[in-house]
Amino acid sequence: QLQLQESGPGLVKPSETLSLTCSVSGGSVSSSSSYWGWVRQPPGKGLEWIGSVHYSGSTYYNPSLKSRVTVSADTSSNQFSLKLSSVTAADTAVYYCARTAYYFRVVIIGFEFWGQGSLVTVSS
């Protein structure tokens, strides 16, 4: 069974870069039928897609965050990561890593597998 686990600092200072890693087990980041993504949720608010990556190196970003976001995949360690620069208090959220669904040999751009989430607080 595929499992995803986020890791990284729980506290980041304003203007610094938030860095999170998602470790994948029970599956491979190198799978051609998978896209790996990051979704965040500010406390008490809704879901916001941040960005996604395919092992081939293709990346896809939320236009509202694109200038500050980098998502990358490391096939050697079976992980993928998120970097969000110049953070402010508005970036305080639970950050989830996730994998797209795959049905009947078709990639569905919807997230079927999720990590448990990692709370990141931006504060000095």
Partner 1 sequence: DIQMTQSPSSLSASVGDRVTITCQASEDISKYLNWYQQKPGKAPKLLIYDASNLATGVPSRFSGSGYGTDFTFTISSLQPEDIATYYCQQYDDLLLIAFGQGTRLDIK
Q: Which residues bind partner 1 (CB under 8 A)?
A: 35, 37, 39, 46-49, 52, 60, 62-63, 96, 98, 101, 103, 108-112, 114-117
Question: Among residues 35 and 80, whose Cβ is nearest to partner 1?
Answer: 35
Q: How far apart are CA 84 and CA 39, in angstroms?
A: 12
Taking the complex as a whole, how short is the minimal distance between the CB of residue 70 and partner 1, in angstroms? 16
Question: d(Cα 67, Cα 124) in Å, to the nearest integer?
Answer: 23
Contact assessment for residue 49 and residue 59, using Cβ atoms and an 8 Å cutoff: no
Closer residue to partner 1, CB minimum distance, 14 or 47: 47
CA distance 105 to 107: 7
CB of 16 to partner 1, least distance (A): 26
Minimum distance of partner 1 from residue 68's CB (angstroms): 16
Q: Which amino acid is at 83?
A: K
